[in-house]
Amino acid sequence: MNADFTSKGFLVRMFSVAMFVFLAVAGLGFVLYLFAIADSVYMFVLAASFAVLTLIAGFFNIFAALAYYRSYFYDRYLQKINAALKPVRRKPSVGVVMPVFNEDPELVKRNMLRLKDLKYPKNKIKFYLLDDSTDQDVVSALHEFSDANGITYMHRTDRKGYKAGALNHMLKNSNDELIAIFDYDEYLTNTNFLLDLIPYFNDSNMSYVQTEKSAFNGNFFANAVKLFDGFFFRFIQTARALNNTAIYAGSCGLIRRKAIDVIGGFPEYVIEDTFFSFESDRRHFKSLYVPKIYAYGKPITTFTALAKQQWRYNYGDTQFISYFFHFRKSMHGSPLSRMDYITHGFGLNYLSVVLILFTLVSVLIVFSSLPFLHITIRHFFNQTYIGLDLEILGILAFMSSLLAPIILAKIYFKSTSKGFMVFVLNFSLAVIRTKAAIAALRNKNPAFNWNRSTAQAKSHNLSFSLLNTRTELTLAVGLFSLGILSTFGFHNFAGGMWLIWYGIMYSATTVLFYRYG
């Protein structure tokens, strides 16, 4: 991330902050309007429901504004740390680890061989291939490859603990002082990874150093997903790092073995990295984020691959919320640090569950003028029509939330189209994420049960797309129908357009699945 401490750079960052503050304030203003015109039990309940959702949204918007503001100063913070770094007197031993599970052997071989180009004393570095594959052809190919290239090959016959379980199994059979983890699809592009990061471990309390993760360019869809991740690594991670809460992101990071031992190994959850980060912080270790890319991953080119990723993320984040509140009292950080973990755990649920609830409340608002829905408190038949003005305000608030990612994408990533795609992706993934959250709350198997497999998910297959997005499509059709009813049945054009717009957004799941597979 390039430093930009000019007045122009600061003004641009403050404009971003102002957008999120405006969204929060506008939402609260709309809530006050609802309460002001409420004259029935039904409308008070509706206003209260909308108030709760708006307060949640306002909390996330204000926190986003704070992150955008604080991230501006991270370069200076890191520069001070770098200026104080001292040369490493003794090179620690390093284990370079790649966990795999039924992956393309050729891709694994290419990326593993590239890791062997890391600049570091050969007698101080070991390479590990942790293979949980069930495909015997993959097992044979990777075992033979490892033996031929001086790589320690470890195979498990079960997936207990998933990736964390594989890492913990490796730790029982190694004594390396530092552990560097790379995913199977990540290709090292900067061989100075170890030489650059190890000096930070001169601080004996440093637990891990995380670098920026990114992917190679792909199709338009893949590049939009890359931008989605870019917001996190450019702004959220840098802001969190100032609080010592930067998330270890699962790969492209370096970890002190002693810290892992103190924690008791990697927590065996589907997102072991988030749990490990929290445990590291809870036990008073330090962490650091370096906004520099050392390896690029394979781009996410299909909607199915993105859905599988988001399912795992939200399943794990929902588990983490319960975990965090159970152990929160043992944290030593500031209230802001606690907010970092709360927003991380609730983040995808905010973008999915709250979004769906907003949609349902919007339907009730649009049809709030129907006579049979009112139980009048003051005058049974003396109602003030709240339709048109209310829906117009709602549409303006909705459009403001649309413009925010588009404007930010244009400012920081030079693309309005990808910014719009980021907005659309939150609707297209809302049902998937919500199902994942429900599965986690019910302690169901974390395996992805969205019934589109990568092998079957062919793009441009309409019947297959309709069948496999039927939940999202049913929601979209319902919103279309209600929008048409509002427009032509009750002559409420603004309200009808509001619901039709929601319908269009939720139908994006079917469109993206059809287009990208």
Q: Tell me the domains of the chain and their CATH numbers.
A: 7-72+348-516 (no CATH), 90-301 (3.90.550.10)
**48: CB partners within 8 A, 6+ apart:** none
Q: What is the pLDDT of residue 254?
A: 98
d(CA 74, CA 65): 15
Given a cut of 90, whether residue 319 has pLDDT beyond it is yes
Query: What value does the mean pLDDT take over residues 482-486?
Result: 92
Residue 384 binned pLDDT confidence (cut-offs 50, 70, 90): very low
Q: Is the pLDDT of residue 382 over 50?
A: no
- 487 versus 91: which is more confidently predicted? 91
**Range 90-94 average pLDDT:** 96
At residue 109, what is the residue type? K
pLDDT band at 315 (very low <50, low <70, confident <90, very high): very high
Q: What is the pLDDT of residue 376?
A: 38
Q: Which residues pair with 128 in a beta bridge?
A: 97, 152
Q: Decide which of 3 and 186 is more confident.
A: 186
Amino acid at 224: A
| pLDDT band at residue 27 using 50, 70 and 90 as cut-offs | confident
Is pTM beyond 0.85 here?
yes
What's the CA gap between 204 and 262, in Å, rounded? 13
Q: What is the pLDDT of residue 446?
A: 75
Largest CA distance in the chain: 86
Give the pLDDT confidence score for residue 385 in this predicted structure: 42
The whole-number average pLDDT for the span 494-516 is: 90
pLDDT at residue 172 greater than cutoff 70: yes
SS3 432: helix
Non-local CB neighbours of 67 within 8 Å, separated by 6+ positions? 235, 236, 239, 240
Q: How confident is the model at residue 444 (pLDDT cuts 50, 70, 90)?
A: confident
The mean per-residue pLDDT over the stretch 406-423 comes to: 86
On average, the pLDDT of the chain sits at 87
Q: Could you give the count of Cα atoms lying within 13 Å of 294 in the half-sphere of its Cβ?
A: 26
Joined tokens for residue 293: 């890319």
H or E segment and range at residue 131: strand 125-131
Question: What average pLDDT score do residues 205-230 get?
Answer: 94
- Tell me which long-range contacts 3-12 makes (C-beta under 8 A, separation of at least 24): 3/75, 3/76, 3/79, 5/75, 5/76, 9/72, 10/72, 12/411
pLDDT of residue 459: 63
Higher-pLDDT residue of 244 and 494 is: 244
DSSP-assigned states of every residue in 361-403: HHHHHHTTT-GGG--BSS-SS-PPP-HHHHHHHHHHHHHHHHH
How much is the pLDDT for 233? Answer: 94
Question: Which residues on neighbouring strands pair with residue 129, listed in sequence order?
Answer: 98, 153
Q: What angle do CA 203, 248, 187 make, to 5 degrees?
A: 105
How many CA atoms lie less than 13 Å away from 220 in the CB half-sphere? 11
Q: Sort residue 234 into left (φ over 0), alpha (ψ -120 to 50) or beta.
A: alpha
